């Protein structure tokens, strides 16, 4: 009858390139299977040294919220930013703007976190939509291609709130959603375990470097008449007193030199466009930020001159040095590898080894000195001059101790590279399975066999 209210039919914008869904699956709009998609106040958050965390787009670029790198906000800011919805386990943090827009991450359990200015909170209906399945769907190549056409910013990439609420979700039965999430989660869990192992191994090497070459613990112990807690042949390699130098007190017999005495800058360059069909491992700034995994790319897709990356080097970024980008690269002899010219390619000068160079470049004192070299007025494009970096003063220990340190630290760092290598393989398997599973092209039973082989 004329004048009656007619229900509004919400349009579905289906992702391109997908075939028919399996018979038990359906399509839905995100806002029809969620309790809410919440924005946050746009006021500038007040940062503090301790307190609740704030989730920014750069904290979830790997699809996992990295609490260890997130910053803290005041209690007032936390209350203001959780007034619409308090993030909790089962919700998703979703980036709507910036370089890493369109990425989702779980809200970790037992963590007080609020939204940053470029974030929204997605709360799926638990009885209809598994939050882990939704995270995989939103992070899939299918959705990455789909949302590309919905950007609405000329300066910053951005998705507006109505667009996010209208995103389309493929909806298997809940039990199948959970099975798919479990299969993909098995791979992610192993990748996360490797990440933690890598951090632990590198922390062990850096702690040894700090004890021997920064705090001079064995030297101080001997100077005070205490045992250094080392095997006697090793303890005998350390002097028994400290002497004054331009860097303050250093062990007797050690020298103050320049960073350029410890490393040699490798200046070989290559234009990948001259080999358009050749494959290159591309060590770029974005690849470092995205889990320190170089991209495998054809030369035709690498548009500018790059630096060659030989085996056994360390990459040190001169761009925005307040961001620590020191890359222990994993390159095999004969491999075609290049890096951004924003990286210095550093080979250790004998008797210094790669482990010493890596730990030195990550040491707090070196980082502070490096940050003091910046030039440029733009906050996003500050750089340190190469000549100034190579002239930074450093302590040079005795050769015998450098050899012993390398023998202790190199196996730790080599194992950390093995963990990264294994994670790259697992990520490749996950990325191949992801679009097939969440589109219904591959069913759970077949995917389980693939995962069992990959994790055996």
pLDDT one-digit tens code per residue, 104-126:
999 999 999 999 988 999 999 99
Q: How confident is the model at residue 233 (pLDDT cuts 50, 70, 90)?
A: very high
Query: pLDDT band at residue 153, thresholds of 50, 70 and 90?
Result: low
pLDDT bin (cut points 50, 70, 90) of residue 132 is very high
Q: What pLDDT was estimated at residue 455?
A: 83
CATH fold label, 255-396:
Adenine-n6-DNA-methyltransferase TaqI; Chain A, domain 2 (3.90.220)
Using pLDDT thresholds of 50, 70 and 90, give the confidence band for residue 80: very high
Whether residue 134 is predicted with pLDDT greater than 50 in this model: the reply is yes
Share of the chain above pLDDT 90, in %: 71
Q: Over 80: is that where the pLDDT of 98 sits?
A: no
Please check whether residue 57 is in contact with residue 76, taking contact to mean a CB–CB distance below 8 angstroms.
no
SS3 content of the chain, % helix, strand, coil (to 5): 40, 20, 40
In the prediction, which pLDDT does 97 show? Answer: 81
pTM of the model: 0.83
| E runs forming strands in 11-163 | 26-29, 34-38, 47-55, 71-73, 92-95, 104-106, 113-115, 119-124
Domain definitions of the chain by residue range: 28-171, 255-396
In this model, does residue 434 exceed pLDDT 50? Answer: yes
Strand arrangement of the beta sheet that strand 47-55 belongs to: 71-73, 47-55, 113-115
DSSP output for 280-342: EEEE-HHHHHTTS--EEEEGGG--S-EEE--TT-EEEE-BSTTS--EEE----TT--EEE-TT
Q: What is the pLDDT of residues 373-395, one digit of tens each?
A: 887 655 567 889 999 999 999 99
Q: Is the pLDDT of residue 176 over 60?
A: yes
Strands 269-270 and 306-308, how do they pair? Answer: antiparallel
Query: Mean per-residue pLDDT for 278-296?
Result: 90
pLDDT of residue 101: 82
Q: For residue range 289-332, list pLDDT tens digits in order.
A: 877 889 999 999 998 999 999 999 999 999 988 889 999 999 98
Q: Would you state the pLDDT for residue 1?
A: 44
Q: What is the mean pLDDT of residues 137-152?
A: 82
pLDDT at 152 over 80: no
Q: Which CATH architecture has domain 28-171?
A: Alpha-Beta Complex (3.90)
- The pLDDT confidence band at residue 5, using thresholds 50, 70 and 90, is low
Judge whether 28-171 and 255-396 match in fold. Answer: yes
- pLDDT, tens digit, 9 for 90 and up, residues 186-230: 999 999 899 999 999 999 999 999 999 999 999 999 999 999 999
Instruction: Look at residue 9 in the predicted model and tell me its pLDDT.
Output: 53
Percent of the chain with pLDDT over 70: 94
Residue 5 is given by DSSP the state P
Segment 137-163 mean pLDDT: 78
CB–CB of 347/268 below 8 Å? Answer: no
Of residues 58 and 264, which shows the higher confidence score?
264
Per-residue model confidence (pLDDT) at position 62: 82
Q: For 333-345, give one letter per residue: b (16+ CB within 10 A) or e.
A: eeebbbbbebbbb
């Amino acid at each position: 009858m004329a004048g009656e209210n007619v229900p509004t039919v919400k349009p579905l914008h289906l992702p391109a390139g997908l075939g028919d869904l399996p018979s038990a699956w359906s399509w839905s709009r995100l806002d029809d299977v969620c309790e809410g998609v919440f924005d946050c106040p746009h006021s500038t958050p007040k940062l503090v040294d301790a307190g609740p965390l704030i989730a920014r787009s750069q904290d979830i670029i790997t699809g996992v919220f990295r609490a260890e790198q997130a910053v803290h906000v005041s209690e007032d800011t936390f209350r203001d930013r959780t007034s619409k919805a308090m993030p909790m386990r089962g919700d998703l943090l979703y980036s709507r703007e910036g370089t890493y827009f369109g990425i989702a991450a779980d809200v970790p359990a037992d963590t007080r976190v609020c939204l940053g200015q470029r974030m929204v909170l997605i709360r799926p209906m638990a009885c209809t939509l598994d939050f882990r399945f939704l995270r995989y769907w939103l992070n899939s190549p299918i959705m990455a291609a789909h949302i590309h056409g919905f950007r609405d910013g000329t300066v910053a990439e951005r998705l507006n709130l109505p667009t996010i609420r209208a995103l389309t979700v493929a909806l298997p039965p809940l039990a199948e959603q959970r099975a798919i999430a479990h299969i993909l989660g098995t791979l992610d869990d192993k990748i996360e375990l490797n990440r933690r192992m890598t951090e632990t191994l590198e922390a062990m090497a850096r702690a040894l470097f700090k004890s021997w070459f920064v705090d001079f613990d064995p030297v101080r112990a001997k100077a005070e008449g205490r045992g250094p807690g080392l095997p006697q042949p090793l303890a005998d390699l350390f002097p028994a007193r400290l002497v004054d130098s331009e860097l303050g007190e250093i062990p007797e017999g050690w020298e103050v030199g320049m960073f350029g005495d410890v490393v040699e800058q490798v200046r070989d360059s290559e234009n990948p466009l001259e080999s358009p069909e050749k494959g290159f491992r591309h060590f770029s700034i974005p690849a470092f930020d995205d889990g320190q995994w170089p991209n495998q790319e054809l030369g035709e897709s690498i548009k500018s001159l790059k630096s060659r990356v030989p085996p056994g080097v360390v990459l040190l970024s001169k761009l925005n040095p307040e961001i620590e980008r020191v890359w222990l690269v994993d390159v095999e002899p004969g491999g075609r590898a290049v890096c951004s010219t924003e990286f210095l390619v550093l080979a250790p000068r004998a008797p210094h080894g790669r482990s010493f160079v890596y730990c030195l470049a990550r040491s707090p004192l070196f980082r502070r000195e490096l940050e003091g070299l910046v030039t440029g007025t733009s906050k996003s494009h500050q750089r340190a001059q190469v000549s100034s970096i190579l002239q930074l003063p450093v302590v040079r220990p005795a050769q015998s101790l450098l050899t012993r340190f390398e023998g202790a630290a190199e196996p730790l760092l080599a194992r950390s590279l093995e963990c990264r290598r294994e994670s790259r393989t697992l990520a490749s398997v996950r990325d191949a399975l992801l679009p097939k599973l969440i589109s219904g092209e591959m069913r759970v039973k077949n995917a389980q066999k693939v995962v069992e082989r990959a994790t055996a």
